[in-house]
């Protein structure tokens, strides 16, 4: 029974390799993703995080059953990426993008997902702080929390083997070129399958 479940799980995970994107808020992940989605329309999909939809008790039970690739708690809310959410995107022959923190990356490393790990980092803490302040979207307390989380994220991102591709987003066009190069093989597979 266990072997049958594993083979069913692996076949359900068939499809384009997912992309795990990590990096602190303000590193430029959203901007890079928007460019990618615009250029390669109909190639990418996002896994839907569960925290919007279920009670804490349901989520904790599902986490205990191993139904999540990663999960975390931030500001009193539980977040997580379920295996089913990724499978739903892959089933449409789309490259599933997971935008998660470095702790989530470590959790996914312990699964058999086999994604492409991309870390987007700012050139410096000073640059990051300027970007976050320029947004004018949060309180000083909230900003300080983000900066602290970013510092931790940037330290963890230096661990060898954690990312397949490390992109320092100092120049948007160069950073985008690196991101595109890293994903071109999977993008081509999706296009070939959709055109056949």
User: Residue 171 — very low, low, confident or very high, per pLDDT cuts 50/70/90?
Assistant: very high
Rounded CA gap, 134 and 131, in Å?
5
Return the CATH number at 175.
3.40.50.300
Instruction: With respect to residue 75, please indicate whether it lies within any of the assigned structural domains.
Output: yes
Percent helix, strand, coil in the chain, to 5, is 50, 20, 30
Number of domain units in the chain: 1
Listed residue (18, 22, 40) closest to 30, CA to CA = 22
Q: What is the pTM of this model?
A: 0.82
How large is the average pLDDT for residues 148-158? 88
Q: What's the pLDDT tens digit per position in 43-88? A: 999 876 655 567 888 888 988 998 888 887 776 778 888 888 898 8
Distance of CA 114 to the CA centre of its chain: 13
3-state class (DSSP) for residue 151: helix
Rounded CA gap, 35 and 40, in Å?
8
Kindly tell me if the per-residue pLDDT of 150 is higher than 50.
Answer: yes
Instruction: With respect to residue 68, please indicate whether it lies within any of the assigned structural domains.
Output: yes
3-state class (DSSP) for residue 11: helix
b/e map 2-27, b = 16+ CB within 10 Å = eeeeeeeeeeebebbbbbbbbbbbbb
Instruction: With respect to residue 73, please indicate whether it lies within any of the assigned structural domains.
Output: yes
Instruction: With respect to residue 194, please indicate whether it lies within any of the assigned structural domains.
Output: no
Instruction: With respect to residue 106, please indicate whether it lies within any of the assigned structural domains.
Output: yes
How large is the average pLDDT for residues 91-108? 89
Rounded CA gap, 59 and 55, in Å?
6
For residue 147, what are the domain limits?
A: 15-187
Instruction: With respect to residue 192, please indicate whether it lies within any of the assigned structural domains.
Output: no
Instruction: With respect to residue 9, please indicate whether it lies within any of the assigned structural domains.
Output: no
Between 14 and 143, where is the model more confident? 143
Rounded CA gap, 170 and 48, in Å?
29
Instruction: With respect to residue 8, please indicate whether it lies within any of the assigned structural domains.
Output: no
């Amino acid at each position: 029974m266990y072997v049958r479940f594993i083979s069913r799980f692996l076949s359900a995970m068939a499809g384009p390799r997912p992309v795990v994107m990590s990096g602190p808020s303000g590193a430029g992940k959203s901007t890079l993703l928007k460019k990618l989605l615009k250029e390669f329309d109909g190639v990418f999909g996002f896994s839907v995080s569960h925290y919007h939809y279920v009670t804490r008790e349901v989520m904790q039970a599902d986490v205990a059953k191993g139904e999540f690739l990663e999960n975390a708690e931030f500001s009193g809310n539980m977040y997580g990426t379920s295996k089913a959410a990724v499978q739903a995107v892959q089933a449409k022959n789309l490259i599933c993008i997971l935008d998660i923190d470095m702790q989530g990356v470590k959790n996914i490393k312990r699964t058999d997902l086999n994604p492409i790990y991309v870390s987007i980092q700012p050139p410096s803490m000073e640059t990051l702080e300027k970007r976050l302040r320029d947004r004018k979207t949060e309180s000083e307390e909230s900003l300080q929390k983000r900066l602290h989380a970013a510092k931790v994220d940037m330290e963890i991102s230096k661990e060898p083997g954690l990312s397949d591709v490390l992109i320092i987003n100092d120049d948007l066009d160069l950073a985008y070129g690196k991101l595109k190069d890293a994903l071109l093989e999977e993008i081509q597979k999706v296009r070939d399958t959709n055109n056949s």
